[in-house]
């Protein structure tokens, strides 16, 4: 009778397993929360600026079905100039620097991670008394000076051995006085139509001055590395044995897998799902969850070892180039940015869910991807670079399934979501967004939900494993590149600087992060939008700006898309 119940349980699991590993994530136009396709547009008029005499404004708002995201295009034609100050000043010097004040007592409001490293000053800069923007200057450094760094702060600064602080933007691990070459990787015509890919598209001068790395890096499948996986370590002994059996069978393309005694259908669903998600190198593993009694039969997406190896060879060829580009940098942050930029630049989001769109078979060959494909490609590259990474599955705030990554970078675990770094829009603009590049849980708690569960047809769920808490923010993109601001004044100047730099480089987006919702609202208000647009047009061949008004708790990225004549 007991055996009969087991057989019935396994038979039911077959029914429950259909599409159980499906990601089903949706993605849309200018998807700040990465969800659905835009459906409506409305045209409104902006209010006139206080000090402008005549302006005509057109605002187009795009509203998605499942998010609060809107895209507003603000076009301002100024017929006359006035010498009076406008509500928002538009010259570079209109927002003055915060005055530096001497502190008699220092209250430590930051945390430090100890390191011991020799670094170089990449550009002339000041050392600060405390690791905060506008803090008292206690020294001045020239480009090329060598310094000893003893700590990294969660405010984006390095601490020197004399106790002063220099922002990370001004320190590099390579001597900037040496002649270096900007790294490019060229893929084959077979893979990407002979497209030349620049990996440091949005890097600072500090990044461009880094060199080194090996051009003959030989990536290899991390065979046997599953024993060091974060999720694997949470399994029971019997579950670990099943995990190992599935991995070994997949590597040999064997279809029969022995199930250890005591494991039932839910256990098989859990372990198989973990292997499917956490072993991206096994790209030929089917999404269909197997079931059985005593043993299970697993399926593959290729018909032969020869077919698998042909695709594997193409994947590893491209991986070799990407890892070589990443290995020019010694920091984990820089390696992750190379991977992130490459994935976003080379992939296209797909609304169709399939074996290829959910794996590295498309992710590493420039194909269409669902969110699981983005996440697995990130994990695959991290495996090759020796960076701890895991695929996390869950749901977004609209209830659609989603997948992203958690990585270990410098001083702790961070969320990173390459799928939501790849925007789609109606103006055919291709760029990389960093809203979800190395962020803590607190910033995405409202749109990355129900973490690491597999859902069955009857509505119940099975937990894969509890992921590590992501509590740090110092490695966040906007903090690391000094693009985070805590006041309207500093954020306004920051946006002017971003617009100028973006337009000079011919880029389609300017974005910064602010620390408060009120600041976010202010910089995206009608008056500020018009002032930013006026300034942008003064820089050159700009026709208009488009403000992106997707609000995500904690992320608080102020973004303007740039359109050229």
Query: What is d(CA 514, CA 518) in angstroms, rounded to the nearest whole number?
Result: 9
pLDDT for the residue 233: 95
pLDDT for the residue 49: 29
Comparison of pLDDT for 536 and 356, the residue scoring more: 536
Query: What is d(CA 126, CA 167) in angstroms, rounded to the nearest whole number?
Result: 9
Query: What is d(CA 359, CA 311) in angstroms, rounded to the nearest whole number?
Result: 12
Average pLDDT over residues 312-318: 94
Query: What is d(CA 517, CA 515) in angstroms, rounded to the nearest whole number?
Result: 7
Nearby residues of 83 by Cβ (< 8 Å), 6 or more positions away: none
Angle at the Cα of 258 from the Cα atoms of 255 and 261, rounded to 5 degrees: 155
Write out the E strands in 70-208: 71-78, 112-121, 125-128, 137-141, 146-153, 157-160, 165-167, 171-172, 184-186, 196-198
Contact 280, 360 (CB under 8 A): yes
H helices within 99-166, ranges in order?
none
Comparing CA positions, the residue from 243, 169, 199 lying closest to residue 497 is 169
Element spanning 513, H or E: strand 509-514
pLDDT for the residue 367: 85
Query: What is d(CA 339, CA 432) in angstroms, rounded to the nearest whole number?
Result: 12
Tell whether pTM > 0.85: no
pLDDT for the residue 426: 55
Write out the E strands in 142-289: 146-153, 157-160, 165-167, 171-172, 184-186, 196-198, 256-258
Contact 171, 118 (CB under 8 A): no
Is residue 260 pLDDT above 70, yes or no? yes
Average pLDDT over residues 224-238: 90
pLDDT for the residue 22: 53
Comparison of pLDDT for 2 and 547, the residue scoring more: 547
Residues 156-191: pLDDT tens digits? Answer: 789 999 999 998 878 887 776 653 322 222 222 222
- Number of neighbours of residue 134 by Cβ within 10 angstroms: 14
Domains of the chain, each with CATH number or no CATH: 38-94+483-564 (no CATH), 112-172 (2.30.30.40)
Q: Which two tokens stand for residue 21?
A: 């590993």
The 3-class SS string of 203-241 reads CCHHHHCCCCCCCCCCCCCCCCHHHHCCCHHHCCHHHHH
Q: How much of the chain exceeds pLDDT 70, in percent?
A: 71
DSSP annotation of 123 reads S
Beta pairing, strands 55-64 & 38-44: antiparallel
Residues 39-86: pLDDT tens digits? Answer: 223 233 223 323 332 333 333 333 333 333 333 443 333 333 333 333
- Number of neighbours of residue 431 by Cβ within 10 angstroms: 19
DSSP annotation of 400 reads -
Average pLDDT over residues 488-515: 95
Q: What values do phi and psi take at 543, rounded to 5?
A: -95, -35
Name the 3-class secondary structure at 153.
strand
- Number of neighbours of residue 497 by Cβ within 10 angstroms: 15
Is residue 18 pLDDT above 80, yes or no? no
DSSP annotation of 304 reads S
pLDDT for the residue 335: 96
Query: What is d(CA 163, CA 141) in angstroms, rounded to the nearest whole number?
Result: 15
Nearby residues of 187 by Cβ (< 8 Å), 6 or more positions away: 194, 195, 197, 318, 321, 366
Query: What is d(CA 58, CA 61) in angstroms, rounded to the nearest whole number?
Result: 10
Q: Tell me the average pLDDT of the chain.
A: 75
């Amino acid at each position: 009778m007991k055996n009969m119940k087991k057989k019935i349980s396994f038979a039911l699991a077959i029914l429950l397993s259909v599409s159980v590993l499906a990601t089903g994530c949706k993605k849309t136009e200018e998807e700040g929360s990465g969800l659905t396709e835009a459906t409506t547009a409305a045209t409104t008029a902006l209010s006139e600026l206080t000090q402008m005499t005549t302006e005509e404004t057109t605002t187009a708002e795009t509203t998605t079905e499942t998010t609060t995201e809107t895209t507003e295009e603000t076009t301002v034609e100024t017929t006359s100039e006035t010498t009076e100050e406008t509500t928002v000043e538009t010259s570079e010097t209109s927002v003055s620097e915060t005055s530096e004040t001497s502190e008699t007592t220092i209250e430590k409001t930051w945390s430090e991670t100890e390191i011991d490293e020799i670094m170089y000053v990449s550009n002339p800069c000041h050392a600060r008394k405390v690791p905060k923007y506008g803090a008292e200057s206690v020294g001045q450094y020239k480009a090329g000076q060598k310094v000893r760094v003893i700590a990294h702060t969660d405010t984006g600064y390095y601490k020197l051995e004399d106790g002063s602080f220099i922002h990370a933007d001004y320190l590099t691990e390579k001597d900037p006085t040496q002649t270096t070459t900007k790294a490019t990787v060229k893929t084959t015509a077979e893979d990407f139509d002979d497209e030349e890919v620049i990996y440091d598209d949005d890097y600072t001068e500090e990044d461009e001055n880094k060199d080194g790395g090996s051009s003959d890096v030989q990536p290899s499948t991390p065979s046997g590395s599953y024993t060091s996986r974060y999720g694997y370590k949470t399994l029971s002994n019997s579950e670990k044995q099943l995990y190992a059996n599935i991995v070994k069978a997949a590597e040999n393309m064997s279809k029969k897998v022995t199930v250890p005694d005591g494991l039932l259908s839910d256990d098989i669903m859990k372990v198989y799902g973990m292997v499917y998600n956490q072993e991206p190198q096994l790209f030929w593993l089917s999404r269909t969850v197997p079931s059985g009694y005593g043993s299970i039969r697993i399926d593959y997406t290729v018909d032969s070892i020869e077919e698998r190896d042909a695709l594997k060879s193409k994947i590893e060829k491209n991986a070799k180039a990407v890892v070589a580009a990443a290995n020019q940098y010694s920091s984990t942050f820089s390696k992750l940015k190379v991977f992130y930029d490459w994935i976003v630049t080379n992939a296209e989001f797909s609304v169709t869910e399939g074996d290829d769109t959910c794996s590295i078979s498309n992710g590493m060959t420039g194909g269409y991807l669902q969110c699981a494909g983005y996440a697995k490609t990130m994990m695959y590259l991290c495996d090759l670079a020796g960076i701890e990474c895991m695929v996390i599955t869950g749901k977004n705030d609209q209830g659609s399934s989603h997948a992203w990554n958690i990585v270990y970078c410098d001083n702790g675990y961070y969320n990173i979501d390459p799928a939501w770094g790849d925007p789609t829009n109606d103006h055919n603009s291709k760029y990389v967004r960093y809203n979800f590049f190395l962020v803590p849980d607190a910033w995405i708690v409202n749109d990355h939900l129900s973490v690491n569960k597999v859902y069955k047809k009857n509505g119940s769920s099975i937990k894969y494993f509890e992921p590590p808490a992501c509590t740090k923010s110092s490695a966040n993109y906007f903090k690391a590149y000094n693009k985070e601001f805590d006041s309207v004044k500093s954020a306004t100047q920051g946006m002017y600087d971003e617009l100028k730099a973006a337009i000079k480089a011919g880029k389609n987006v300017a974005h910064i992060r602010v620390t408060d919702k009120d600041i976010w609202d202010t910089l995206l208000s009608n008056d500020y939008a018009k002032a930013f647009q006026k300034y942008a047009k003064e820089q050159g061949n700009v026709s208009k700006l488009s403000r992106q008004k997707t609000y995500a708790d904690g992320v608080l990225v102020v973004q303007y898309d740039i359109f050229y004549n």
